[in-house]
Amino acid sequence: MSQLTLDHASASVEFNKNEPRVDWHDETLWFVRTKRDRAVAQIPEWEQLREAASQIKNHVLSNMHDLLVQFEENAKQNGITVHWAADGAEHNAIIHGLIQKAGATRMVKSKSMLTEECHLNDYLTQHGIEVIDSDLGERIVQMRKEPPSHIVLPAIHLTKADVGETFHEHLGTEKGATDPQYLTEAARQHLRETFLTRKVALTGVNFAIAETGGFVVCTNEGNADMGAHLADVHIAAMGFEKIIPRAEHLGVYLRLLARSATGQPITTFSSHFHRPRPGQEMHIVIVDNGRSRQLGRPDFRNSLKCIRCAACMNTCPVYRRSGGHSYHSAVAGPIGSILAPNLDMKQNADLPFASTLCGSCSNVCPVKIDIHDQLYKWRQVLMQEGYGPTAKTVSMKAMATVLESPRLYRMAGKIGRGVLRFAPVTVENRFNPWYNQREMPEPPAESFRDWYVNHKKS
Amino acid sequence: MTTRERILNSIQANQPSLLPLPEQFTFTSSFPDLTKQFSDSLAFVGGMAVVVPDHKTIEAHLKEHYPGMTSVASTCPELAHLADRGLDVADPHELASLNLTIIEGPLAVAENAAIWVDERQLPHRVVPMITQYLAIIIRQSTIVPNMHDAYKKLKVNETGFGTFISGPSKTADIEQSLVIGAHGARSLIVYVLP
Ligand code: SF4
């Protein structure tokens, strides 16, 4: 994993150097987006479903405290041990403690973006615990020592040749093999052996039900189930916003989630865990890690409604052409760009600018998060707090000075028009990011002000 | 103050004022033929539905579809004689060699071909995932139109574990090519009895 973190714009420039690959990435994600559209078209009440999903989540945000207390009480009665973690470090320490208590040194894990956010794998590896990710996409990127580049399709940035290469190296598949069926079979054998030999399994949580004290995990591969049902200890890690009031609300979310994600009517397995099986231990770690702070920001709290379907990424023209890694954050794309500055404003100040604000993300979001509006609002907060991108900060300061003085404004206009007409090279060069990929307009011969003054005279 | 109290206090201080739960959140789906909708949805997600008149026909279909299959288990009494092994093991790891498992599903959903099974149908939770091939028997009368209808009928916490299964295990993680049989069952046949 490269430690050097480029900002989004520079990382995108890197990504864009391989043009055919960018086109391929763009098309692959657009293909997923069109599958979503087809699935949505089959549900006449889609818009009302989104509205219902959004309103249920509005209630959840406004009743978070009581719902969590209710969930905890019911989960405990079900025989689940509930832990609370204020941040990533506490989350990691709790999980490490549970693994040690089980006398294990190895763990199998199914997909959880929360553990990515908390850098659990790194932490456990440093403490001598071997972690194997069992979702095929996650396993591929894990072998390559890369983070996932997408929250639903972790290896979407890789071609089958890349995967073939990786499996040849790590699983001993034939060199040059690229058949997805063959490669998947190799992973199946390798992971089956893993499932059968791990005493501790970790899963994420898609939904936690306050009313019943249980939780739901959705996968297509069945890897969460294989891990959890064979292990002596099942640990589930959840961000506290995953709570919903009642089981019947799952009807709304399960209808929306997979259709928005991949265009499937539902994931293959939607597993409802309520009690450990006899002889098993079940733990839930409820994590804050900045979420309560985001809950207190009226402009951004809606981001906590996210059900992690990734539709906003698949549709985003910037994501599709810059790749998930350019966002240098566990959750990439439009929603990640709202969540990341809450975690670290300075480190992630570039991300809300990685958007055209075209609004496509907000249009597809199944829980109606005002994504592009929030990105716009983050830009203002970041500029005010002095975290704006340097180039923008300098030019914005200059612009403010010019706009404040009518005389300077007129002069700037004159100079600008002159420069564009007589020395276009000063604008059309690679140091002007706005000119990159764009045709500059023909400058008008006369400013609007001059035109107005002349016409008023006549 | 414990972490729990700190988090809960912070949430309470930061949450907006109470908004009511919406009353309208379920919808009716109308399909002219629930069984056909179910079968079509299942085909779409890589499974196969077979409408059958009786258990004899299921048996014939299974024998034709999986000739000479060994390590077969069944929780369906009418098909118990097809099984050459039981599922009543002490440790679920012993199920690793299961080839074909026949179970019954009490509730199915037409819109997405999801079949609910819980611990009343599953001697071990891992059965439908660990077996190489899976067959589920459902009754036509138990097919409901959509997920809202399903949750109205279900008590999700009646047993400790329950899951909706829709199709065989699959992945598209390698260049978006659909591959059936990731970790769980490599195929799913659903028999629909009257
Ligand atoms: S913000 Fe909306 S569209 Fe994006 S991942 Fe979350 S729920 Fe899906």
Task: Give A51-92 pLDDT, tens digit per residue.
Answer: 999 999 999 999 999 999 999 999 999 999 999 999 999 999
Beta strands in A305-419 (DSSP E): none
B171 vs chain A: nearest CA distance in angstroms?
6
- Residue B5's contacts (CB-CB under 8 Å, 6 or more residues apart) are none
Alpha-carbon distance of B22 to A57, in angstroms, equals 10
A-interface mutation test, from B6, B10, B25, most A Cβ less than 10 A away = B25
* Residue labelled with tokens 């020592």: A145
CA angle B30/B35/B36 to nearest 5° reads 80
CA distance A189 to chain B (A): 8
CB A193: neighbour CB atoms within 10 A? Answer: 12
Q: Is 80 exceeded by the pLDDT of residue A397?
A: no
The size of chain A, in residues, is: 458
SS3 assignment, position B49:
strand
What separation in angstroms does the CA of B74 have from each of A188, A271, B95? 24, 22, 13
Asked if B1 has any chain A CB less than 8 Å from its own CB, the reply is: no
Digits of tens for pLDDT over chain B (194 positions)?
Answer: 999 999 999 999 999 999 999 999 999 999 999 999 999 999 999 999 999 999 999 999 999 999 999 999 999 999 999 999 999 999 999 999 999 999 999 999 999 999 999 999 999 999 999 999 999 999 999 999 999 999 999 999 999 999 999 999 999 889 988 999 888 899 999 999 99
Q: Which residue has the tokens 């959890």?
A: A228
The mean pLDDT of A212-225, rounded to a whole number, is 97
Give the pLDDT score at A1. 38
| Percent of chain A whose predicted confidence (pLDDT) is above 90 | 80
Mean pLDDT computed over A430-437? 61
Q: Does B11 touch chain A (CB under 8 A)?
A: yes
Q: Which band of pLDDT confidence, cut at 50, 70 and 90, is reported for residue A3?
A: very low
User: Looking at ligand 1, which residue's alpha carbon is closest to its atom 6?
Assistant: A306
Does residue A234 contact residue A274 with C-beta atoms inside 8 Å? no
Of the candidates B10, B13, B25, which has its C-beta nearest A249's C-beta? B25
Cα–Cα distance between A179 and A6 in angstroms, integer? 34
Cβ atoms of A137 and A158 within 8 Å: the answer is no
Collect all residues of chain A within an 8 Å Cβ-Cβ radius of residue B177. 160, 180
Tell if the CB–CB gap between B167 and A268 is shorter than 8 Å. yes
pLDDT score for A128: 97
Encoding tokens for residue B37? 């909708």
**Cα A57 to middle of ligand 1, angstroms:** 13
Confirm or reject contact between B181 and chain A (CB < 8 A).
yes
Ligand 1 surroundings by CB, under 6 angstroms: A 260, 306-312, 335, 364-367, 369, 371
What confidence score (pLDDT) does residue A437 get?
64
Read off the pLDDT band of A400 (50, 70, 90): confident
A214 neighbourhood in chain B, CB within 8 Å:
156-157
Listed by number, the residues of chain B in 122-141 with a beta carbon closer than 8 Å to a beta carbon of chain A are 124-126, 129-130
Angle at B83 between CA B80 and CA B114, to 5 degrees: 80
Contacts of residue B47, defined as CB under 8 A and 6 or more positions apart, other chains included, come to B113, B166, B167, B168, B187, B188, B189, B190
pLDDT over 50 at A246, yes or no: yes
Q: Kindly report the pTM of this predicted structure.
A: 0.92
- In this prediction, residue A164 carries a pLDDT of 95
Domains contained in chain B, CATH given: 31-171+187-193 (3.40.50.10420)
Mapping DSSP to helix (H, G, I), strand (E, B) and coil, where does residue B47 land? coil
pLDDT score of A4 more than 60:
no
% of chain B beyond a pLDDT of 90: 94
List all residues 6 or more positions away from A267 whose beta carbon is below 8 Å from its beta carbon: A218, A219, A220, A257, A258, B166
Q: How far A126 CA sits from the closest chain B CA (Å)?
A: 25
pLDDT surpasses 90 at A212? yes
Give the pLDDT confidence score for residue A279 in this predicted structure: 94
Report in angstroms the alpha-carbon separations of B172 from A32, A178, A220: 11, 14, 9
Question: 10 Å Cβ neighbour count for A345?
Answer: 15
> Is a pLDDT exceeding 90 seen at residue A455?
no
Mean pLDDT of A412-432: 68
- Alpha helix (H) ranges present in B67-193? 127-130, 147-153
